[in-house]
Structure 1
Amino acid sequence: MEAITFKAFAITNEIDLNQIAIHCGIPKKFTWEQPLFLREQILESILDKKINEAHQMVLIFSFGSIVFINHSEAEEIAQVLKFLYSFEPDIELKNIEKYSDDYCLHINEAQLVELTDEYVVVPIFESFYPELISTVLAKSVALEKTEEQLGKIHDKLETMIDRLEKGRLRIGNKELARTTAKIVRHEYNTLAYIMILDKPDITWSSSTANEFYDRMTDFFELNDRYKILKSKTEILYNIMDGFSTISHSIRGLFVEWIIVILILVEIFLTVLEYM
C-alpha cells in the first residue's frame, strides 16, 4: 500500500461546518468536535474532476483548520480553499502556507508503530488512521497560529510596560479594554474552541484508536503546548490586573486632588467674602 499524505492548514479562527454541509447536501448537524468530510461525489463536484487516488478526501474542522489527504496538486488545494472562501471570507488565501504542516502514513507489516516528525509507520491499515492523524495535525497548526497571536499580545503589553517605566502611568480605559478583549479572544480560540483535551468519538469505542491517538498527541506535545498557553494566558491576566489597578489608583488620586482644590477654593472665596 502506498503512503498516505496529509497537508494541514490553519486558515481562520472559525468555520461554520453546518453552512457548508447544507450546501453540499449532507443531512447532518455538526458539533464543534466533529470534522466535516469532503470526499467522493461531493469532492468531485468541488474540484470539477474525477478522483483517482485512494483515500483522497478533505477534512474541515470548526476551529479553522483544514487537512488535505492524498492531494498532491496545488491547483486542487487552491480550488477547495476558494470554495471555503465563499463561506468564510476571513480566510487569507495569499498567506495560506504560514501555518501548515505535512505528514505521511506508511504501512509496513514487518514494523511496529513508529512516530517521527515527518511520518508515522503502522503494521496494518485501519480506517480510523486518516481521521486521527488529521485531527492531531489540525490541532497542531491551530495551536501554532494562536501561539503567534499570543506573541503579538505580549509585544503590546511590553510597550505598555515601557511606558510605565518612563513614568507615563496613565493608561486609557479603551486601551485596557482592547488589550483585555484580545486576551479573552485568544483564550476562547485556544482553550475553549480548539478543544485540545477532547478526543474523537472513535477513541471511545476502540482501544487501538485510543492508544494511537494518545501517542500522536504526546509526540506533537499538544497537551504540553496547551498547558503553556494556559499558564501564559493567566500571566497576561495578572499583568492586566496590575495595569488596571495602577490606572484606577491614578484616577482616584486625581479625583482626590480635585476635591482638595475645590475645598481650598471654597475656603478662599469665604475668606475673601469676609474681608
Structure 2
Amino acid sequence: MQYKFIALDLGDDIDIKRLMREKSSHVEYIRWEEPFKFKYAQGTVFVYSFGAVVGLNVPSTQFNTLVSELDDYVIGMVKHTSAELLEVILNKEKGIEVSEDKVYVPRIDDGVISTTAFVLAQSVSLHRIEQKTELLIDEIEKFLSEKGKFAKGKKALGLAMKILKTRHEILSDVMILDKPDITWESELYDQLYQKLSRYYELSRRYKNVTTKLDHAFEVASVLLEIHGESKANLLEWMIILLFVLEIAMSLIEKLF
C-alpha cells in the first residue's frame, strides 16, 4: 500500500468545532496537536486547528477541491502556502532514513502516520509564519524610509502588535518547539519526529523567524520611544509658550 502525504496551510486558524459538527455525527474534544480526521476520496484527511491540512493518499485534484471547501472554515484571512509532499516507504531491514521527500521506516502504523502528518503540518504552518514575518520586515523598512514619519506612534504601535501576534502564533498555535505526546509512546515515533524535524529544518527556521521578529520588535519599540519623547517635548514647548504669552500679556497690560 502507498502512503503519500500532501500538506498545505490555509490560514491563521481553522474552526475545527464547526467543521466537526458539519462533517461528523458527533463533536469530540481534541488537543491542540490532534487533528480532526475523516475519510475523503479513498484517502484520509488531517485538519489541524492552527491552519494546516494534510492529505494521505488523496489525489492532488481531489485535495485541491477539498481545500476550496475548507477555506470556508478558516478564521481570518485565507492565504495558502506552497504544498509539501512526502512519501512513507516500508523498509524492515533499515532504520529511519529521510531523503528527497521520502522517509523509509521499519514499520508503518497509526503512530507513524500521525507523527508524519503532524511534522508536515508544522512545516507548512511555519512557512506561513515565515512569509508573514517577511511582510512585517518589509513594512518596517518602508516605514523607516518615509521621511518625517517618526512621530507617528500609532503606526509603530500597530507594527509592534503584529509582531507580538506572530510570535504568539508560533508558541501557542504551531507549538514549533514541542513534540506531540505520541512521541513518548514509542522510540520509533520519537526518532521519526526528530529526523523529520531536522529534514524540514524546523528548529533552524524557527530561530531565524524569532531572530527577525526580535529585531523588528526592537525597531518598533525605538519608534514608540521616539514618539513618546516627541509628545513630551511638544508638551514642554507648549508650557514654555504659554509662560511666554503670560509674561507678554503682563507686559502689555503694564505698558498700555
Match of 2:240 in 1: 260
- What does residue 33 of structure 1 align with? 33
Moved over 6 A (4+): none
Deviations 1:204-256 (A, max 9, x none): 11122112111211221212222222222222221111101111111111111
Q: What residue ranges of structure 1 are gaps of 5+ in the alignment?
A: none
* CA apart distance, 1:169: 5.1
Which of 140, 150, 153 is the equivalent residue of 2:123?
140
Corresponding residue pairs, total? 254
Matched letter for residue 3 of structure 1? Q
Residue 11 of structure 1 and its aligned partner are, at CA, apart by 0.5
* 2:67 aligns with one of 64, 81, 88: 81
Distance 1:263 1:27, change over 3 A: closer
Instruction: Provide the C-alpha distance between the structure 1 equivalents of 2:60 and 2:15, rounded to a whole number of angstroms.
Output: 26
Cα deviation code 1:22-72 (max 9, x no counterpart):
221244112222111112xxx3xxx6xxx3xxxx20001111000011112
Partner AA of 1:71 in structure 2: V
Distance 1:184 1:90 in 2: 17
Which residue of the partner structure matches residue 19 of structure 2?
Answer: 20
What amino acid is the match of 2:38?
Answer: L
**Contact 2:6/2:56 (8 A) holds in 1:** yes
Q: Report sequence identity in percent.
A: 23
Q: Which residue is equivalent to 2:162?
A: 182
Provide the C-alpha distance between the structure 2 equivalents of 1:252 and 1:237, rounded to a whole number of angstroms. 22
Q: TM-score, normalised by structure 1?
A: 0.85
What SS class does the counterpart of residue 223 from structure 1 fall into? helix
Q: 1:270 to 1:73 in 2, by over 3 A?
A: closer
- Partners of 1:239 and 1:82 lie apart in 2 by 38
TM-superposition CA deviations, 1:74-127 (whole Å, max 9, x none):
0x21332243234337564xx74x432111111123433211131111233233
Q: TM-score, normalised by structure 2?
A: 0.91
Q: Does the residue aligned with 2:14 lie in a helix, a strand or coil?
A: coil
Aligned to 1:239: 219
Answer whether contact 1:17 1:36 (CA < 8 A) is retained: yes
Amino acid at match of 1:252: A
Question: Contact between 1:3 and 1:107, CA under 8 Å: does it hold in 2?
Answer: no
Q: 1:159 to 1:91 in 2, by over 3 A?
A: closer
CA distance in 2, matches of 1:77, 1:123: 28
Which of 82, 91, 100 in structure 2 is aligned with 1:108?
A: 91
Residue 51 of structure 2 is aligned to residue 71 of structure 1: no
Q: Contact between 1:17 and 1:30, CA under 8 Å: does it hold in 2?
A: no
